[in-house]
Amino acid sequence: MTLLLIVALFLPLFPLSVVLNGAMGLLREPVLRCLLLLAWPQLGVMLLQLAAQAVPPYVVPWALATAGFYALRLLTVRDMGQWAGFLATSALALTWALAAGGADRAELHAFAFWFSLPPALVALLARPLARRFGAAYAGLQGGLIAGLPRLSGMLALTVLAAVATPPFPGFFALLNLLQMLDWTGALAVLAIWLVWGWAATRLLQGFLFGAERAVAFVDIGRASALVYAGVLGGFAIAGLMLTGWRL
Amino acid sequence: MLALGRRLKIRTLVHVAGEPIPFFWPMRTFIHHNPLYGLEHLPFEQAVAMGERLFRARGYLSRALQQRHLAAGKLDRTALERQVADFLASQPDIAGLDLQRLLMTLLTEIETPVGAPPALADAVDIHAALNGFALPSREIGGAALAVQVGADMLPGRPLHAIVDMLFGTEIGATLDELVIKSCLDFFDEGQSVWQMPGREKGLFAAWSAVARRNLRLFIRGLHIKRILAVDDTPEGIISHVMDELGVPEDDWMNHFTCELTRLHGWAGFIRWRAGAKHYHWARHYPADLVDYLAIRLVLGLALLREHAERKGTPAKLAELAHFVESNPAEAYLRREFHGGHVLPEMAHAVEDAIAARRPARIARLLPQYLARKREHEARHHAAALRRLATCAGMADAPQHLVPADVASLTDMLARFEREEGGIWLEALEAHYLGRLLHGLDLTWPTPREKRPFAQVMFCIDVRSERIRRHLEKVGDYQTFGIAGFFGVPVSFIGLEKGSETHLCPVVASPKNVVLELAIARSAADEAFVSTLEQVFHELKASVLSPFITVEAIGLLFGLDMFGKSLAPLAYARWRQRLHPDKPDSRLLLDKLSREQAESIIRSLQRALIVKAVGRELGIQREAITDEMIRELRETALGNHAGATGFARAFRLDPEAETRFIECLQKVYRINRGYAQIQLERLGRIGFTLDEQVHFVGQALRSIGLVDGFSRFVLLAGHGSTSENNPYESALDCGACGGNHGITNARVLAQIANKPAVRARLREQGIAIPDDSWFVPAFHNTTTDELRVYDLDLLPPSHLVYTERLNNGLQAASRLCAAERMVTLEEAVAASGEHADPASAYRLARRNAMDWSQVRPEWGLARNAAFVIGRRHVTGQLDLEGRVFLHSYDYRCDPRGRLLENILAGPLVVGQWINMEHYFSAVDNAHYGSGSKAYHNIAGRFGVMTGNLSDLRTGLPAQTVLKDGAPYHEPLRLLTVIEAPIAHARAAIEGVVKIRNLVHNGWLRMAVVDPETHVAHVFEDGAWRQRPLHAAGGAVEEKELAL
């Protein structure tokens, strides 16, 4: 039981989830945030495998409640780093539901990865924004799409990947999860997914659209954009391969 | 109920408050106008500043764009330097700084403005930052913070706007949305299938009846009913809301102006509509700004109260003032965050603090925030000063300044940047002025040995310049420029049209009606295709039919879509073949005698009686006689009493007969009163012979064509054709009220060919030879086609020359298309300087038929000047389609009256067009209408961006911008008059409107004197003279002692 509680720190369940989000708040450096988001859930899955105990049935509603709570919190958060943290918390909590459904170790690691890589990339994108505007805060620096098309494009794609839109793997992983849940659980996950989409729209609206900025800023370099696009492209291909498609 | 005097006062206040808002005409007849027309009484710079405040719009191009103009050689650097020197003449010197060099560097090398002096950091702080010292500690008190918040709470600013700024609510946006929905419901002109009930009672009455029962508003917590219960009149409601908000009465007008300008498109439409007495929809569904404002205020108050209940925000001005006074720290941080001033790195902390609303937390955060913000401001400003000084080659100078000098420099730079827009503008204008004046030819041409093959009168429109140039080049054509309505204001009733269209500039009101009559029309012309189109349209508009008919007829729409998209030209040709040709027609131009008018009315009444007998009683025409019809008519008009022969013949009892007669009087309007109205209307048809002679004589004299008439005198009206383009009429003739100019051309041609008119003109010294024939023509500015009309009226002697005429016109059309396509199509531009004329002509016609084409032509973009003078003066110049050309020969106008007419009419229209383009190019998002790609038709009279927005005024981005940067060079219209200076000045001073425009800087004016060969330019409030043909800016100038 103790081990399960420890796992709940890494595959965050409320209120233990405050640890991950507290850490995200304390770490101001986007690279560290990115690394934390990538490593943290993998540790959780490893620990979960060590626990010689099945996931108790009450954990699934707890996980869904956590995911729902953080999805709703996403709607009010404007700091991009924290947004990435909350989204990861909301998504990673669903790992418990997958584990309760009998998923094997590889599936759990993959699920955690599919839902931690895009938020990690979102957290990383806070860096060029903060460098240009002082902070990556939605609503303060609107209208990026006109002046910074490459950064805007990357931001939009990464956020879409983060909220499990097709063809990114999160979408297919979510479909897999839906099959393992009963209809109430599936409905809850669909509602959570809907709120993620809403939150993503609000976030993108706060950055990309709005009045054009009077002061011009330099866009991210072509190479950075290509690297980012490559990662996202690879991620999308991985998602398609989940459906059985082969190169 | 409010007292009458009070109501009148409120009405007056609202109307005065709405004056800065420009009219918005329905887009069916797009009228180019100055968006700051209501501010034209102010000098240009002041009006632009006021426009910035009222419409939140920029009045000048940004520095970065002007720097591009400078790099491209479109700007006069000398003029820029002179302007900077003029500015510095009134500024204090700062020791150690070469201010002229500093400001020129700022203008030409620094893209980002230095900006206004910081709000928190002072000169001492900036001085410290410049020298790398730590900022001196300083405490900023609550009073200072309240002052900063107060700076955004200007008198008249609506309470909801301040609440939005301090609490991050979106009351203003919600209010706009609700108001727009209300306007869309009321002002709909047939776009909606279900109409708003009770519209005939007026905007406020109809809206309040619906709003009282609006469940959606109630569910949102907006208790409209309670507010509306106070008074039935819009004035009473306005007074009540203002009292409830606690706005002092002295501020009401400012408050009203702010509310009205927030959606200035809708307000402008309502303002225009309230005064458009002839407008069908306004007559049936009245509305004015008082109604509109009352609705806005009711909804605004309801939203404020709802937010006050739910979020505890202030709902009265006094509550707001109390909040700011008692919580200056919180108010300041709120303004910082929601007003968009917050330091980004502290945004999260500030948001958390104000969300918690705990004074202790705010008190903890505030000193930290103020210190960092002050430091940020000081360092940012110091960096900007250092960068500027380095670029100017004075890198060390800022460090040696004492704090007082830093303060002077900061203030001076802020003042300069406020005035910078005007400085750039004048330099841009100086460059164009220099080039244009340099190219003018004021010599007198040698007299011609023989008359030209044809003379062609074109509209003054800038698009005529290109085709005139090419026509003159391809053959013996002499061209003239005249306002496109040819000086004949016409109220036109076209074939099968029931309403009048005013074909003249909007500044004039036509007194005479011209009726178009078909020569012959058979029942077989009732096209099957037209009927089918009508059915299709109704199927589309219906609510349910698309669901049930899509499988059945969807394919037909698909065919239409593929045809229009893939082969627009061929498909349009095929469709035209399906439609019957428009029947030949004649225009009824002569006044009717009383007998003729009465006879027409009698005939109309008889036709109606036949219809009524058939429809009401089921009796066919063959069963009744002319005598019966006459008797029924006389009875209906009250000229006959007792039973009619008709009643006896069809055994109608007296009651049924009386009923039928009453039906004739009321439903079919066969009564004395209506007959009198019809008689008066018929009296407006046509022109008297005196009027006809006057119009022809004036048109010819105004362009200096009083002798040497050719065999053909073409009157070329113009218009455009494009598909799927709500702005089509913006490309039509402005002088014809945004319509095609062909009707006016036909009117003048028909009049000028009348022997009686020519005889009278001969008495006035204008001898038009018998073999001269006036022929109407149409210049399609989208395709460049020149088409001749009414050829069936041509005398047989002229028919042998028509081939040559058509050849010449077509050659000019093709050459014009070749020149124009280079500016429109990237592919053509890339292929070389000039495209192949035939393929360019085909491409132009394709553009006109292509429904996906967002820019069928450039229209009047890049207009820059208005030349009033002989064609010889500009004949050798390629003016690139940028100049309005009005032919004028001062020798034909000894008293200057014709020149005054040109200034008062065509020039004013030209200035409206110019200003519309200027402001749409400078700030397309606010003064223009943004991208066409997002436009949707609103109510069939305007466009909105997306599905809900203010009515978009001004020109779309595709008309004035290219690749996001201005294609139209925003210049104030440079008017050049070719006439002796005294003659021209007398005319300018004689037209008050023009004099004010010139003196207030809305128009640039120059007079070129053909007798002295000296140019006189109005600059800085005085006429200055400069010799013509001086090189560039190195011109000797001296002020005239006039």
The pair of structure tokens assigned to B1041 is 């002692």
The CA distance from B285 to B202, in Å, is 6
Contacts of B345 in chain A (CB under 8 A): 130, 134-135
Mean pLDDT of B146-150: 87
Average pLDDT over chain A reads 89
A113 inside domain: yes
Residue found under tokens 């498609």: A245
Q: Which of B743, B17, B99 is nearest to B416 (CA)?
A: B99
Average pLDDT over chain B reads 91
Cβ distance of B111 and A216 shorter than 8 Å: yes
Cβ distance of B342 and A215 shorter than 8 Å: no
| DSSP-assigned beta bridge partners for residue B937 | B943
A54 inside domain: yes
Q: What count of other Cβ atoms lies within 10 Å of the Cβ of residue B730? A: 23
Among A78, A135, A211, the residue with its CB nearest the CB of B345 is A135
Residue % of chain B over a pLDDT of 70: 94
Count of domains for chain A: 1
Among B111, B112, B344, the residue with its CB nearest the CB of A140 is B344
Residue B1040 has pLDDT above 60, yes or no: no
User: If pLDDT is split at 50, 70 and 90, which confidence band does B987 have?
Assistant: very high
- Full residue range of the structural domain in which residue A98 is found: 2-242
Contacts of B112 in chain A (CB under 8 A): 215-216
| DSSP-assigned beta bridge partners for residue B514 | B492
The CA distance from A45 to A107, in Å, is 10
Q: How far is B432 from chain A (nearest CA, A)?
A: 28
Say how far residue B1003 (Cα) sits from the centre of its chain: 17
State residue B536's pLDDT score.
64
Q: How far is A203 from chain B (nearest CA, A)?
A: 15
Residue % of chain A over a pLDDT of 70: 96
Residue of B nearest to A133 (CA): B344
Residue B828 has pLDDT above 80, yes or no: no
User: If pLDDT is split at 50, 70 and 90, which confidence band does B539 have?
Assistant: low
What are B406-426's pLDDT values in tens digits? 999 999 999 999 999 999 999
State residue B889's pLDDT score.
95
B915: left (phi over 0), alpha (psi -120 to 50) or beta: alpha
Among A135, A215, A216, the residue with its CB nearest the CB of B344 is A135
Q: Under a CB-based contact definition with an 8 Å cutoff, are residues B918 and B1003 in contact?
A: no
DSSP label at residue B33: -
Mean pLDDT of B967-980: 97
User: If pLDDT is split at 50, 70 and 90, which confidence band does B1041 have?
Assistant: very low
Least confident of B803-817, B822-836, B895-909: B822-836
B351 touches chain A (CB under 8 A): yes
DSSP label at residue B590: B
Contacts of B62 in chain A (CB under 8 A): 214
What are B51-87's pLDDT values in tens digits? 999 999 999 999 999 999 999 999 989 999 999 999 9
Cβ distance of B344 and A82 shorter than 8 Å: no
DSSP label at residue B903: I
A247 inside domain: no
Contacts of A133 in chain B (CB under 8 A): 344
What are B540-568's pLDDT values in tens digits? 666 666 666 666 667 777 788 888 888 88
Q: Which of B357, B360, B320, B310 is nearest to B337 (CA)?
A: B357
What are A145-186's pLDDT values in tens digits? 888 889 999 999 999 999 999 889 999 999 999 999 999 999
> Residues of A numbered 183-212 whose beta carbons fall under 8 angstroms of chain B's beta carbons: which are they?
211-212
The pair of structure tokens assigned to B401 is 């300044």
| Whether the bond into A15 is cis, omega within 30 of 0 | yes
User: If pLDDT is split at 50, 70 and 90, which confidence band does B720 have?
Assistant: very high
Residue B519 has pLDDT above 90, yes or no: no
CB pairs under 8 A between A and B: 31
Among A133, A137, A212, the residue with its CB nearest the CB of B348 is A137
Contacts of A216 in chain B (CB under 8 A): 64, 111-112
Of residues B1026 and B529, more confidently modeled: B1026
Of residues B1040 and B606, more confidently modeled: B606
Per-domain residue ranges of chain B: 1-59+170-312, 454-519+686-966, 523-582, 592-683
Run of H or E including B1022: strand B1022-1027
Q: How far is B946 from chain A (nearest CA, A)?
A: 14
Cβ distance of A137 and B344 shorter than 8 Å: yes
Cβ distance of B344 and A215 shorter than 8 Å: no
Among B111, B112, B340, the residue with its CB nearest the CB of A140 is B340
Among B64, B112, B345, the residue with its CB nearest the CB of A134 is B345
Q: Which of B351, B372, B387 to mutate to test the interface with A (most CBs of A within 10 A)?
A: B351
Say how far residue B11 (Cα) sits from the centre of its chain: 26
A90 inside domain: yes
The CA distance from B238 to B222, in Å, is 17
What are B432-468's pLDDT values in tens digits? 999 999 999 999 988 888 999 999 999 999 999 999 9
Q: Which of B383, B379, B382, B376 is nearest to B345 (CA)?
A: B376
Say how far residue A41 (Cα) sits from the centre of its chain: 11
Contacts of B925 in chain A (CB under 8 A): 211-212
Q: How far is A183 from chain B (nearest CA, A)?
A: 32
State residue B418's pLDDT score.
94
Residue A211 has pLDDT above 80, yes or no: no
Residue of A nearest to B964 (CA): A146
Q: How many residues make up chain A in this entry?
A: 247
Among B112, B340, B348, the residue with its CB nearest the CB of A79 is B348
The CA distance from B385 to B403, in Å, is 13
State residue B466's pLDDT score.
97
Q: Which of B18, B34, B180 is nearest to B938 (CA)?
A: B180
Residue of A nearest to B342 (CA): A140
Backbone angles phi, psi at B499, to 5 degrees: -120, 165
Contacts of A212 in chain B (CB under 8 A): 925
Mean pLDDT of A26-41: 90
> Residues of A numbered 133-152 whose beta carbons fall under 8 angstroms of chain B's beta carbons: which are they?
133-135, 137, 140-141
State residue A27's pLDDT score.
86
A79 touches chain B (CB under 8 A): yes
Backbone angles phi, psi at B907, to 5 degrees: -65, -40
| DSSP-assigned beta bridge partners for residue B515 | B493, B588
- Give the 3-state secondary structure percentages of chain A, helix then strand then coil, rounded to 5: 75, 0, 25
Q: How far is B894 from chain A (nearest CA, A)?
A: 54
